[in-house]
Structure 1
C-alpha cells in the first residue's frame, strides 16, 4: 500500500510488506488448487501474421516453423512449453 504525494510516495515498511505477502501466499496455497487447473488441448496450432514480411521470414527459421504466406508463420506442437518457446523467440 502506497500513497502518492507529488513526486514522492509513502509506503509500508519492507518487513510489513514481506509479512503480508507470506500471509496471502499461505491463504492461497491452503485453498483447493484443483479448481485452478486448465485442461490443455492435445495439440497446438499457432499462426502469426506479421506486419512486415521480413519478420515472417526470420520467424520461419525457428525449428518446426514454416512460412505459409508473405507475412505469415505457422507452428504446431503437442507440447505447450514448445509453443511458449516458439512465441518467445519469434515475437
Structure 2
C-alpha cells in the first residue's frame, strides 16, 4: 500500500508554499513513494550491530609534519609582484578604505 498520496503531495506543496500542477503532483507522488519504499528497504537491512557511517572507508588526516625548509627572501617574494611598497604587496583598497 502506498504511503504517499496525491492529497499528501498537495498538502506538502501548500506547507512549502509551492504551487504544483496536477501533472507535477502525479509525478511527485510516484517519486516520493519510491523514495519512501527505498528508505524502508534500507531500514530493514540496518541493524543495531552495524555502525552508522558517513564514508565506506575510515578517514584519517594525511598531512605531513611541519618542517622548516628553505625560505624566500622578501626581495624574491616581491620580485614578480605587480605593485609593492615598503616590503609588502600593494593592492587596491576595498570596502571604501583609504589608500
TM range (shorter): under 0.3
* TM-score, length basis structure 1: 0.25
Q: Which has the higher strand share?
A: 1
Taking CA–CA contacts closer than 8 Å with sequence separation of 6 or more, which of the two structures ends up with the larger relative contact order? 1
Larger Rg computed on CA atoms: 2
